[in-house]
Amino acid sequence: MLYRTAGQFKTSYQADQALFPVRQDAVLLGVVLLFAWVIFPLTASEFAFQTLLIPILIYSLAALGLNLLTGYAGQLSLGTAAFMGVGAYACYKLVTLMPWLNPVVAILFSGAFSAGVGVAFGIPSLRIKGFYLAIATLAAQFFLVWLFEKWGWLYNYNASGAIQVPNLEMFGVYVAGPQAASVVQYFVVLAVVTLLTLVCINLTRGNLGRSWKATRDMDIAAELIGINLMRSKLTAFAISSYMVGVAGALFVFMWRGAAEPNLFDIPLSFRILFIAIIGGLGSILGNYLGAILIVGLPVLLNTLPEALGLPISSATVEHLNIMIVGSLIVFFLIIEPHGLARLWALIREKLIIWPFPH
List pLDDT tens digits, range 237-290.
999 999 999 999 999 999 998 999 999 999 999 999 999 999 999 999 999 999
Residue 1's pLDDT is: 59
Query: Which helix (H) or strand (E) covers residue 174, if one does?
Result: strand 173-176
Q: DSSP per residue over 287-321, as a string?
A: HHHHHHHHHHHHHHHHHHHHHHT----HHHHHHHH
Residue 101: helix, strand or coil by DSSP?
coil
The pLDDT of residue 302: 79
| Eight-class DSSP state of 175 | E
d(C-alpha 66, C-alpha 236), whole Å: 10
What pLDDT, on a 0 to 100 scale, did the predictor assign at position 306? 74
Report d(CA 176, CA 357) in Å as an integer: 52
Predicted confidence at residue 244, as pLDDT, reads 96
pLDDT at position 34 is 95
Q: What are the CA-CA distances from residue 294 to residues 14, 129, 313, 340 (Å)?
A: 37, 28, 20, 12
Going by C-alpha positions, the residue among 91, 111, 112, 242 that lies closest to residue 168 is 91
Q: Which three-class secondary structure state does DSSP give residue 147? A: helix
Q: What is the DSSP letter of 163?
A: E
pTM: 0.93
Of 212, 222, 219, 210, the residue nearest 130 (C-alpha): 219
192 with 105: CB under 8 angstroms? no
Residue 83: closest CA among 125, 113, 58: 113
Positions of the chain with pLDDT lower than 70, given as ranges: 1, 357-358
Render pLDDT for 280-321 as a digit per residue (tens, 0 to 9): 999 999 999 999 999 988 888 878 777 777 777 777 878 888
